[in-house]
């Protein structure tokens, strides 16, 4: 198989922060523009990943489409500011801005895991400028799964602190928790731990190679990476609309691609049924394909994913 064949795009920032993105060779893009009106394809990675995770997809998709891939703020080679409120709303808005400012044409957005949620939210927000959405083992919640956030009422929080012991509460919150989080973070970015984690996520670990491991480890060394890790795990959710509401807003066709043996999706079969059911209730043009793979089918079985995506693009 071919490996990643794209070049970095010109510098672009969102909210004043540098965002890294790549696109298929400009010569190929010029040729495609002259020969076809195919929509652009934008690839959005999952948690801890980056544009590098599309190494086996860009070459195949670029044969017939202009292809872009983007690093979400907080990940990959994009900036990792500690002050941002990380979650689905931020990444959705980032993708929408990128499509409008850097692509400017109807775009099919392809996303994996939390990138799948961001892709769906952006596709819904783009309305007619969205040419389609492809979800690869997408993250997200439905209306009946919404978590209850902790009360922010000042009096109740003070009573809680008094009841548990004021000094102990501050010690845990400001010293113990950050220390534990730091230890977890340092452990998770060790190459051997990354490899073992990926081997659990991929059913066939053939493509769990040094390139993939380094593509995940390298961004964790950037300034701000630990603060992003803290914020993402403290967010208690993607902070956006539930999937069923996004389906109601979506105006373009939808492809659901599942790695059917995903060990990371809780109640995976039930989750798939919910995606299918709510997409149909929203009267979406939905296609669903199940593949023998884990959480990242685009990198584990890229030939199969590329074939399904290209077939779907051609038919829509």
Q: pTM of the predicted model, to two decimals?
A: 0.88
If one counts every other C-beta atom within 10 angstroms of the C-beta of residue 46, the result is 26
Rounded Cα gap, residues 19 and 146, in angstroms = 30
For residue 264, the 8-state DSSP code is S
For residue 240, the 8-state DSSP code is S
Q: Which CATH superfamily is domain 6-141+234-315 in?
A: Alpha/Beta hydrolase fold, catalytic domain (3.40.50.1820)
Longest distance between any two alpha carbons in the chain, whole Å: 70
pLDDT at 239: 79
Rounded Cα gap, residues 302 and 265, in angstroms = 20
For residue 304, the 8-state DSSP code is H
CB-based contact 23:7 (threshold 8 Å): yes
pLDDT at 237: 65
pLDDT at 61: 96
Rounded Cα gap, residues 295 and 202, in angstroms = 7
Question: Dihedral of the CA atoms 173, 174, 177, 182 (nearest 10)?
Answer: 160
pLDDT at 265: 76
Q: How far is CA 163 from the centre of its chain?
A: 40
For residue 111, the 8-state DSSP code is E
- At residue 223, what are phi and psi to the nearest 5 degrees? -60, 135
Closest C-alpha among 121, 117, 123 to residue 137: 117
**Under-70 pLDDT residues of the chain:** 1-5, 25-36, 146-175, 235-237
pLDDT at 203: 95
pLDDT at 180: 84
The structure tokens 């009841």 sit at: 163
For residue 38, the 8-state DSSP code is P
């Amino acid at each position: 198989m071919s490996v990643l064949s794209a070049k970095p795009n010109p510098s672009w920032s969102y909210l004043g922060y540098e965002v890294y993105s790549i696109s298929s060779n400009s010569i190929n893009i010029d040729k495609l523009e002259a020969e076809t009106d195919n929509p652009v394809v934008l690839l959005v990675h999952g948690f801890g990943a980056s544009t590098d995770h599309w190494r086996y997809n860009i070459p195949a998709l670029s044969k017939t489409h202009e292809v872009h891939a983007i690093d979400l703020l907080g990940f990959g080679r994009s900036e990792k500011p500690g002050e941002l409120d990380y979650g689905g709303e931020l990444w959705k808005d980032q993708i929408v801005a990128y499509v409008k400012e850097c692509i400017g044409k109807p775009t099919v957005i392809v996303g994996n895991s939390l990138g799948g949620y961001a892709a769906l939210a952006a596709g819904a927000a783009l309305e007619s400028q969205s040419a389609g959405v492809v979800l690869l083992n997408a993250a997200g919640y439905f209306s009946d799964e919404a978590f209850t956030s902790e009360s922010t009422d000042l009096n109740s929080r003070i009573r809680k602190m008094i009841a548990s012991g004021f000094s102990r509460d501050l010690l845990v919150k400001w010293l113990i928790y950050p220390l534990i989080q730091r230890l977890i973070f340092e452990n998770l970015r060790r190459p051997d731990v990354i490899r073992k984690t990926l081997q659990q996520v991929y059913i066939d670990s053939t493509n769990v190679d040094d390139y993939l491991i380094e593509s995940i480890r390298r961004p964790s060394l950037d300034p701000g990476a630990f603060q992003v890790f803290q914020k993402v795990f403290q967010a208690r959710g993607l902070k956006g609309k539930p999937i069923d509401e996004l389906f109601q807003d979506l105006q373009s066709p939808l492809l659901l691609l599942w790695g059917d043996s995903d060990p990371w999706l809780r109640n995976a079969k039930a989750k798939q049924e919910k995606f299918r059911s709510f997409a149909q209730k929203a009267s979406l043009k939905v296609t669903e394909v199940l593949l023998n793979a884990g959480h990242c089918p685009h990198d584990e079985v890229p030939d199969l994913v590329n074939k399904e995506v290209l077939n779907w693009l051609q038919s829509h």
